[in-house]
Structure 1
Amino acid sequence: MIPVVLSGGSGTRLWPISRAKLPKQFCTIFEQSLHAMTLTRLCKLGEPWVITSQALRDLTIRNLNELSLNPQNLILEPFAKNTAPAIALLTALLLNKGRGEEVVGIFPADHVIENEEVFNASIHFAKEKAVQGKVVTLGISPDSPATGYGYIQSSLEHTDEQGTLRTHSVIKFHEKPSKDRAEQFLQSGGYYWNAGIFVFQVRIMADLFKSLQPEMWALVNSIRDDFSNIVEIYNKVENISIDYAIMEKLFQNHLACIPCDIGWNDVGSWDAIADVLGGTQTPQKIEVRSNNNFVQALEGKTYAFVDVDDLVVVDSGDALLISKRGRTQGVKDVVDLLKLKNPGVLKDHLYEDRPWGRYEVLRDADNFKSKVIQVNPSQQLSYQSHKKREEHWIVTKGQGEVVLNDETFQVQAGSYIKIPLGAKHRIRNSGTSIIEFVEVQMGSYFGEDDIVRYQDDYSRI
């Protein structure tokens, strides 16, 4: 089958770790990012495709390269328009490639699945039903009256079975319910959490878009092969989820649900993260007459709790979140306030991943800015200059070469290079490990947009 990862979410409920330039699916909250975990899991089903936004291109390609996956299987939307346009675009592309008989699985990029054996069995069963013309969704067996998920209402009678797995016809999709209604769902039976996982045959989904969303289908089919008009088209496409656009309009005999217990968690809040990680978080934590406090932060900092219980503390260096356990959904209210008072802290971290490596801001003052910059093996920065600043580089680790106004210098730990105002320059890593250097900028302006690029391996302007 063709497993497809939808990776356009912003993950604002996991602020301050998740931000616009490094959303939830790319954060290293676990040993791997959720995005990398999802790709690794789906490789067992087939070669994964990824649909994401142009803004997340570099982060996505980095993950694909690290996992030795084909970056050609990447669809870039100019901006997010929810899941229906993304799936319509994918369906049209595959249909036009003559792959209408193939089966596609749609998977969110930012969920945890602990029971992969049951997950794989469920997807293989779903594929069998998809070949028969069904659109299949996985229903997660609920263990609590959760109000943070949508629900799938299915018939109590099953229509087919394979081992312990069964298919049920779908009666209705329900939006996130109130607490009382969620408790009713749990008591009634036949209600399952909607994990956003769908399996279908390409030609079947194409026919559904043609009949249920003809305007959207016509628009995505007018996108040129080179995507040169995709911005114009996406400005016209409706912002709507696949649930609203297609799934809720299907007759019961077209849509099937496979209830399953796959150890699923959408890790959509810091409470959920704390539940998954338990006591495994890495920062040093000291509790004095205190219990059940959770810390998520960078290593190298000690956190002490005195006479307090049930706190969630998330420290990202430039922002600190403190919440009671069970109340971290309130982060969305913090985000709403920050949009008005300090929107920059919703967008940028002190560090930023680039296709060549990473940098971290140490100090950003009126008269200078300092960074630690790491360049990965065989990578190099763009050949560039700055109009408003000079730079001073001290290499602290590794070896490489600096090109300064077309002259090349070999550098290693302890080397110092001055980059005068307006000078063309770049550094490349010629070693087998990371090259790291401290950069001090001095001048009148230190913004990332003060860059004139003359050559770039990553086709940035």
Structure 2
Amino acid sequence: MKIIPVILSGGAGTRLWPVSRKAYPKPFMQLADGKTLAELTFDRAMGIATEGEVVTVTSRDYYFLCKDIYKKNPQCDLDKQTFLLEPTGRNTAPAIALAALNIQQQHGDEAIMVVMPSDHLIKDHQTFNATVQQAATLAADGHLTTFGIFPTAPETGYGYIKAGTKLNEQAAVIEQFVEKPSLEVAKSYLASGDYSWNSGMFAFQVGALLTAMQDTAADVLSASQACYAATDTSGTQIEFDLDQFMTLPDISIDYAVMERASKRAVVDSRFDWNDIGSWNAMASLSDSDEAGNRVEGKAITVDSQNCYIRAGDRLVATVGVSDLMVVDTTDAVLIAHKDKSQGVKDVVQFLKAKDHEAAVYHKTVHRPWGSYTILEDEDDCKVKRLVVKPGQVLSLQLHHKRSEHWTVVSGTAKVRVGDEEFMLEANHSVYIPVETLHRLENPTDEDIALIEVQCGSYFGEDDIERFEDIYGRIDDKQATS
């Protein structure tokens, strides 16, 4: 039985703002131990993959983040990792359908795909692995199988699954999917013992899934097949065309398939599970002091009780407050009552409506070649600190409305300005006039750090005209450098 994990990696960056944002959503934010959920999910996937093969459905923006994270796993062979790159978000049904078509192409109908969102935290790998084997066995018998999490509280933020006839000691036929209930209904579910939380994790035999999808969501399947057929799928980095991808219905796998299929099962999952869907959930991962305060980073609490504080670079102090969440980043601070944690997404919606960049970006923005941090942003200049990873190359480009000055802080850069190419070492600078072709690359095996000062009348990213780019961004006005 061949098991291929499928990781769904992305997110809107709304529920854990301001740390999680659209350009750097929850799977990539650091936990208290310094690791990310994406890293932990990949480690978990490698633990169940039959031959170290994992399929990741993500976007081009997150592709490079995923690759860098995956390389941290000593068992990872990047040549065995397949990345399906969505040009825009399109919900879980088309994502899973495209992954199934890829696995079918590579391994046939008998392969088992285990679908895993990248924003779940599971620490008990032994129980998780054993449960995956149970689910895979059911999937091999044609059951569309989901992982039902044993409920520990009357949670109103999750959907529920009602179990029917037992298939074995740990699994049952699915009788019903239930939407997020009221508190009273959730209490009745918990008391009955027949319900579990819907985890969003699945085990499918590829052929059985595609057959079921033909019966329950033929439009999703046909559109996915057409999109996949129109795509070059010969490599491990498979990028779908935007126009073709937009024909895919925007629907979840639950609505499209699981709620309508005839042969479906739920496995009673007793491993620890946390989808970290709010700051309250994040707070639960930290130890509390005698007053019930949970602190990450540099913080002082005076006469304060039951607060969660996540400090960034600055010292955070609270005096005489209780039941607050305080989350500090370089450009935004969230202060909320702990009972209102789900309201954070309303802040993000407000920022989006105002077209505020804090809904999407941090001061530090990650790019395929490395990252940049905005140090100053004024009407007459913009100052950034760039870090360029070994072997990476910024695009060959020019600007119509601004000049730039580059000063290397550390490392040695290869620079092109106009038709001239030269090496630029630490403490040396170069001036790039308006309307001048330029490029910077790192030919060394160490990071390069440099300061970029932009001067002119306009500093928007749509003032980048690209001529060459190794990351395929020639027509991308949203990516910088």
TM bin (shorter chain)? over 0.9
For 2:194 and 2:22, the matched residues in 1 are separated by 37
For 1:78 and 1:133, the matched residues in 2 are separated by 32
Matched, 1:408 2:416: no
Q: Is the 8 A contact 2:61 2:367 kept in 1?
A: no
Cα pair distance change 1:302/1:441, threshold 3 Å: same
107-116 vs 418-427, which moves further: 418-427
Segments of structure 1 that go 5 or more residues without pairing to the other structure are none
Shift of residue 55, structure 1, vs aligned partner: 4.5
For 1:149 and 1:50, the matched residues in 2 are separated by 24
Which residue pairs with 2:478 in the alignment?
none
Q: Deviations over 1:118-154 (max 9, x none)?
A: 0011001111121111121111111111111111111
Shift of residue 385, structure 1, vs aligned partner: 1.8
Q: Is the 8 A contact 2:173 2:266 kept in 1?
A: yes
Matched, 1:198 2:163: no
For 2:274 and 2:206, the matched residues in 1 are separated by 28
For 1:341 and 1:220, the matched residues in 2 are separated by 35
Residues 247-286 of structure 1: matches in 2 within 5 Å? 247-251=258-262, 254-278=263-287, 282-286=296-300
Identity of aligned residues (%): 39
Which residue pairs with 1:89 in the alignment?
98
Q: TM-score normalized by structure 2?
A: 0.89
2:251 partner letter: I
For 1:186 and 1:459, the matched residues in 2 are separated by 51
Q: Is the 8 A contact 2:304 2:319 kept in 1?
A: yes
For the residue of structure 2 that corresponds to 1:249, the secondary structure is: coil
Q: Deviations over 1:255-308 (max 9, x none)?
A: 111112211000011111111133685421111112333222423x11111111
Cα pair distance change 1:432/1:216, threshold 3 Å: closer
Shift of residue 64, structure 1, vs aligned partner: 4.2
Residues 212-361 of structure 1: matches in 2 within 5 Å? 212-223=216-227, 225-227=229-231, 230-251=241-262, 254-278=263-287, 282-299=296-313, 301-361=314-374
Residues 414-453 of structure 1: matches in 2 within 5 Å? 414-453=427-466
271-280 vs 388-397, which moves further: 271-280
2:145 partner letter: V
For the residue of structure 2 that corresponds to 1:264, the secondary structure is: coil
Cα pair distance change 1:416/1:353, threshold 3 Å: same
Which residue pairs with 2:159 in the alignment?
150
1:56 partner letter: Y
For 1:98 and 1:65, the matched residues in 2 are separated by 24
1:321 partner letter: L
For the residue of structure 2 that corresponds to 1:332, the secondary structure is: helix
Q: Deviations over 1:213-263 (max 9, x none)?
A: 122222222225352885444333322111111111133xx2111112211
For the residue of structure 2 that corresponds to 1:222, the secondary structure is: helix
Segments of structure 2 that go 5 or more residues without pairing to the other structure are 233-239, 289-293, 475-481
Q: Extract structure 1 runs of 4+ deviating beyond 4 A.
A: 64-68, 279-282
Shift of residue 170, structure 1, vs aligned partner: 1.2
Cα pair distance change 1:93/1:446, threshold 3 Å: same
Shift of residue 71, structure 1, vs aligned partner: 7.6
Q: TM-score normalized by structure 1?
A: 0.92
For 2:306 and 2:417, the matched residues in 1 are separated by 54
Which residue pairs with 2:28 in the alignment?
26
For 1:237 and 1:29, the matched residues in 2 are separated by 34
1:115 partner letter: D
2:14 partner letter: T
Shift of residue 393, structure 1, vs aligned partner: 1.8
Shift of residue 429, structure 1, vs aligned partner: 2.2
For the residue of structure 2 that corresponds to 1:390, the secondary structure is: strand
Q: How many residues align?
A: 453
Shift of residue 212, structure 1, vs aligned partner: 1.3
Residues 27-42 of structure 1: matches in 2 within 5 Å? 27-30=29-32, 31-42=34-45
Q: Is the 8 A contact 1:62 1:355 kept in 2?
A: no
1:444 partner letter: S
Shift of residue 446, structure 1, vs aligned partner: 0.8
Q: Deviations over 1:160-209 (max 9, x none)?
A: 14xxxx11221111111111111111111121111101101111011101
For the residue of structure 2 that corresponds to 1:333, the secondary structure is: helix
For the residue of structure 2 that corresponds to 1:14, the secondary structure is: coil
**Alignment root-mean-square deviation, CA:** 2.1
For 2:451 and 2:105, the matched residues in 1 are separated by 50
Matched, 1:179 2:193: no
Q: Is the 8 A contact 1:103 1:199 kept in 2?
A: yes
Cα pair distance change 1:435/1:98, threshold 3 Å: closer
Shift of residue 96, structure 1, vs aligned partner: 4.0
1:413 partner letter: A
Q: Is the 8 A contact 1:61 1:71 kept in 2?
A: no
Cα pair distance change 1:380/1:96, threshold 3 Å: closer
Matched, 1:51 2:57: yes
